[in-house]
Amino acid sequence: MTQHPSPTSPDDGPLVHLTVDRAIATVTLDSPRNRNALSARLRSELSQALSDAMADDDVRGVVLTGTGPVFCAGADLKEVGAALRGEPVEPAPELPTVFEQIMGAPKPVVAVLNGAARAGGIGLVAAADIALAPKSATFAFTEVRIGVVPAIISVPVSARMHSRQLSRYFLTGELFDASAAAKAGLITQAVPDREMAHAVDAVLQGIRGSAPRALSRTKQLLDELGSGALAASERRTEAFSRMGELSAEFFAGEDAAEGRAAFFDKRPPRWAQ
């Protein structure tokens, strides 16, 4: 296992940790004192950790998780208040930048919730390609209850949640559990707490067993599907043509040849970790 240091201040340790093990980078939010709130320093360290993970050729996929009882409480309201009073706040990537790093990443990102998610923290969940949460986890879009609008997070969240549930939970700010989050499309699976490790391992084994180039291009394809670029009726003929070219390119590639050979030889392909 390799470890990558995160920036630190003279007063305390890093708020985000990055480790790599068997082709999976784990990015851990570690600011339990404020429930892993998205402070400027945490956003800076998170952005750097994501960049480092994506630049590491040994990394096949990324897990995003947290420490303590809360995955992420959303914005650091104390810091927001200080900024509005004109007090200095260290420069940091804003949330759209962080969300885009996850959504536009060339490698899959798996959100593994360690507990509750609120407001902007749910944006991180929605931005991830796969999201697993223990059944004990809870969610709430608390913005309307404190007089603000869930504007920035609406971009990743609206791409995941079904519209009726999105309207309900955005407009009421009410608490909902992991099973409701899965039903609404926000998370991939609500997992019994004791089975989280097994569920996560099953997902990561799938990523570790996938050819890196095909994995990256499939994530890009999913983004295209989500944008509707392939679904519009007037573009279907063009889309089928383009997808045919993409399919032929990969079927003719070295990885596909290795995959076929491994299948017939009844052995793992060379990229399996």
214-269 pLDDT tens trace: 999 999 999 888 766 666 544 656 766 776 787 788 878 888 888 888 888 889 99
Helix (H, G, I), strand (E, B) or coil at 13: coil
Residues 137 and 236 in one domain: no
Is the pLDDT at 64 greater than 90? The verdict is yes
Alpha-carbon gap, residue 69 to 78, rounded angstroms: 20
For residue 263, the model assigns a pLDDT of 80
Residues 39 and 169 in one domain: yes
Q: What is the DSSP letter of 70?
A: E
Residues 40 and 171 in one domain: yes
Which of 181, 207, 233 delimits the end of a domain? 207
Which of 183, 207, 231 delimits the end of a domain? 207
Residues 162 and 43 in one domain: yes
- For 136-189, what is each residue's pLDDT tens digit? 999 999 999 888 899 999 999 999 999 999 999 999 999 999 999 999 999 999
Q: Is residue 257 included in any domain, yes or no?
A: yes
Q: What is the DSSP letter of 16?
A: E
For residue 9, the model assigns a pLDDT of 42
> Of the given ranges (79-93, 115-129, 162-176, 219-233), which has the lowest mean pLDDT?
219-233
Identify whether the C-beta of residue 207 lies closer than 8 Å to the C-beta of residue 59: no
The answer to whether the pTM exceeds 0.85 is yes
Q: Is residue 97 included in any domain, yes or no?
A: yes
Residue-range definition of the domain harbouring residue 231? 211-265
Nearest to 109 by CA among 137, 135, 132, 136: 132
151-164 core/surface letters (b: 16 or more CB in 10 A; e: else): ebbbbbbeebbeee
Confidence label for 209 from pLDDT (cuts 50, 70 and 90): very high
Residues 143 and 179 in one domain: yes
For residue 250, the model assigns a pLDDT of 84
> Of the given ranges (1-5, 193-197, 226-230, 231-235), which has the lowest mean pLDDT?
1-5
The whole-number average pLDDT for the span 83-99 is 89
Residues 108 and 39 in one domain: yes
Q: Is residue 235 included in any domain, yes or no?
A: yes
Confidence label for 12 from pLDDT (cuts 50, 70 and 90): confident
Is the pLDDT at 2 greater than 70? The verdict is no
Residues 65 and 175 in one domain: yes
Residues 112 and 63 in one domain: yes
* pLDDT cut 90: percent of the chain above it: 71
For residue 6, the model assigns a pLDDT of 42
Which residues are designated catalytic?
143
Alpha-carbon gap, residue 135 to 105, rounded angstroms: 28
Residues 192 and 79 in one domain: yes
The whole-number average pLDDT for the span 89-95 is 90
The whole-number average pLDDT for the span 116-145 is 96
Residues 202 and 140 in one domain: yes
- Tell me how many domains the chain contains: 2
Q: Is residue 260 included in any domain, yes or no?
A: yes
Q: Is residue 66 included in any domain, yes or no?
A: yes
Residues 146 and 252 in one domain: no
Q: Phi first, then psi: what are they for 96, rounded to 5°?
A: -55, -35
Between 225 and 65, whose confidence is greater?
Answer: 65
Domain CATH number, residue 178: 3.90.226.10
Which of 207, 225, 246 delimits the end of a domain? 207
Residues 22 and 149 in one domain: yes
Q: Is residue 272 included in any domain, yes or no?
A: no
Between 85 and 38, whose confidence is greater?
Answer: 38
